[in-house]
Amino acid sequence: MNYPKKLVLLGATGSIGESTLKVIRKHPDKIQVVGISANQQVDKLLNIAEEFKVPHACLSSEKGSSPTFPSFTELKRGEESLQELASLVDADIVVIAVVGAAGLIPTLAALKSGKDVVLANKESLVIGGEMVTKTAKKYGARIIPADSEHNGIFQCIQGQPQQSIESIILTASGGPFRDLPIDQLQQVTIEQTLCHPNWSMGKKITVDSATMANKGLELIEARWLFNLEPKQLEVVIHPPSIVHAIVRFIDGCCLAQMTPPSMTFAMQNAILFPERHQGVESSIDFSQPLDLSFSPPSMDRYPCLRLAQESMDEGYSAPLVFNASNEIAVDAFLRNRIGFLDIPRIIENTLNLSESISTESIEDLLTLDSETRRIAATQIDLLA
Ligand code: NAD
Ligand code: MG
């Protein structure tokens, strides 16, 4: 391996961005940051540019102030600059740690330039899975999964032929309301929802974990990453979040991947793959009692999981509609405009009101994405 690998980190100021930077601080001889981006968090981006002496930075939002970056950093603004950064000639690896549908275009740009793409952004695969995987194939680019469950599967299937996989099983903690009586769910507050029992993450994915929309998105993500049929994908509740994923092989053997619940493990594995080096954090402590329990999820408690599975079964653009309506509903919930159980209501109504289309055009996908957001916003106005 030629070190240091040159890395672009899109979404550097977020939670996955922070985990990535922890890995880079641990291995400065192996990774050099050559580009960083954020949406609007200028001050945080500036600090990262200074600490890691980053030559290229991008603020994808055109709004906000323009502080003075160090002379060694060239700062650009706007969505086109984000695409430029994603395909920076100098880079070997592009980490996509942007949240939401905004991850799709830079992911495609990075793949088209043949880079190794470390993909944390799951929404890009949910809305454009076929396009993303075809683009990777066409341009000979690798997608290395960084979502913890998918990175776990990626580790378990190394060296195993595709036809030996019976199914894969994603674990879910069940979120903060796993044991709350269902009739109390509508009243839960934003603060309670953002209080995840195991993981510290960005706001949107933390709400998605409480509704289990996150696990639904991850099923669709896994389908594309590992080229599987919907019936080969399972979900199990595993409260401690130590086992991240299990691969069931056709001979009945199951391989599982385990770490404590922190994203530094998956990020390091993905960035330094196929090499292993000392980790940022301590591994599992087996000198203490460890309860690794598993139970099936209740679809009554987690309607978002059911809706994601239904949209995955329907295929075409139904997962895009699921994702866009979920993003709008979560945003409305975080603005205190709707209650917790209104999130699945908005998604279900929007799915019922939207057409599922088959398309290979990015423009069609983006048009449908905006149209879906408009329908979901109307549903929110009716409820709020
Ligand atoms: P976050 O909200 O903490 O950070 C998001 C980052 O994206 C920030 O740097 C922000 O500036 C940038 N961003 C936001 N909107 C943007 C836009 N419109 N255009 C360009 N950049 C934009 O999110 P996060 O929790 O770090 O999650 C990032 C992605 O990784 C999500 O897709 C999430 O599902 C996935 N993921 C997160 C975790 C986790 O532990 N946080 C785990 C697995 C997967
Ligand atoms: Mg995950």
Ligand 2 mean position, distance from CA 75 (Å): 31
Is 153 part of a structural domain of the chain? Answer: no
For the CA of 123, the nearest ligand: 1
For ligand 1, whether the C-beta of 206 sits within 6 Å is no
For ligand 1, whether the C-beta of 198 sits within 6 Å is no
Q: Is the pLDDT of residue 66 over 80?
A: no
Token reading at 369: 């994405």
> How does pLDDT run across 227-264, given as a tens digit for each residue?
999 999 999 999 999 999 999 999 999 999 999 999 99
pLDDT classification of 63: cutoffs 50, 70, 90 = confident
Q: Is the pLDDT of residue 67 over 90?
A: no
Is residue 271 within 8 A of residue 31, CB to CB? The reply is: yes
Ligand 1 mean position, distance from CA 307 (Å): 23
Is 65 part of a structural domain of the chain? Answer: yes
Distance, C-alpha 341 to centroid of its chain: 23
Average pLDDT, the chain: 96
- Cα–Cα nearest to 197, from 215, 210, 183: 210
Nearest-CA residue for atom 39 of ligand 1: 201
Determine the residue of 21, 23, 84, 98 to mutate for testing ligand 1's pocket, defined as the one with the most ligand atoms within 8 A of the Cβ atom. Answer: 98
Is 266 part of a structural domain of the chain? Answer: no
- Looking at the 3D structure of the chain, how many domains does it have? 1
pLDDT classification of 64: cutoffs 50, 70, 90 = confident
For ligand 1, whether the C-beta of 149 sits within 6 Å is no
Alpha-carbon gap, residue 330 to 249, rounded angstroms:
36
Amino acid 355: pLDDT: 86
Looking from the CA of residue 12, the nearest atom of ligand 1 is 9
- Cα–Cα nearest to 280, from 250, 295, 260: 260
For ligand 1, whether the C-beta of 201 sits within 6 Å is yes
Q: Is the pLDDT of residue 55 over 90?
A: yes
For ligand 1, whether the C-beta of 123 sits within 6 Å is yes
Place of tokens 């896994």: 222
- What is the mean pLDDT of the segment spanning 212-237? 98
Amino acid 168: pLDDT: 98
Instruction: Determine the structural domain holding residue 50 and report its residue range.
Output: 5-146
Ligand 2 mean position, distance from CA 90 (Å): 30
pLDDT classification of 359: cutoffs 50, 70, 90 = confident
Amino acid 59: pLDDT: 96
Determine the residue of 19, 45, 99 to mutate for testing ligand 1's pocket, defined as the one with the most ligand atoms within 8 A of the Cβ atom. Answer: 99
Q: Count of alpha carbons within 13 Å of 168, Cβ hemisphere only?
A: 30
* 93-96 and 165-172 beta bridge pairing: unpaired
Alpha-carbon gap, residue 86 to 218, rounded angstroms:
23
Is 263 part of a structural domain of the chain? Answer: no
> How does pLDDT run across 129-146, given as a tens digit for each residue?
999 999 999 999 999 999
For ligand 1, whether the C-beta of 199 sits within 6 Å is yes
Q: Is the pTM of this model over 0.85?
A: yes
- What is the mean pLDDT of the segment spanning 81-105? 97
Is 76 part of a structural domain of the chain? Answer: yes
Is 191 part of a structural domain of the chain? Answer: no
For ligand 1, whether the C-beta of 97 sits within 6 Å is yes
For ligand 1, whether the C-beta of 106 sits within 6 Å is no
We report the CATH number of the domain holding residue 127 as 3.40.50.720
Amino acid 278: pLDDT: 98
- Cα–Cα nearest to 369, from 332, 331, 326: 326
- Give me the amino acid identity at 85: L
pLDDT classification of 360: cutoffs 50, 70, 90 = confident
Is 63 part of a structural domain of the chain? Answer: yes
Is 220 part of a structural domain of the chain? Answer: no
- What is the mean pLDDT of the segment spanning 112-116? 97
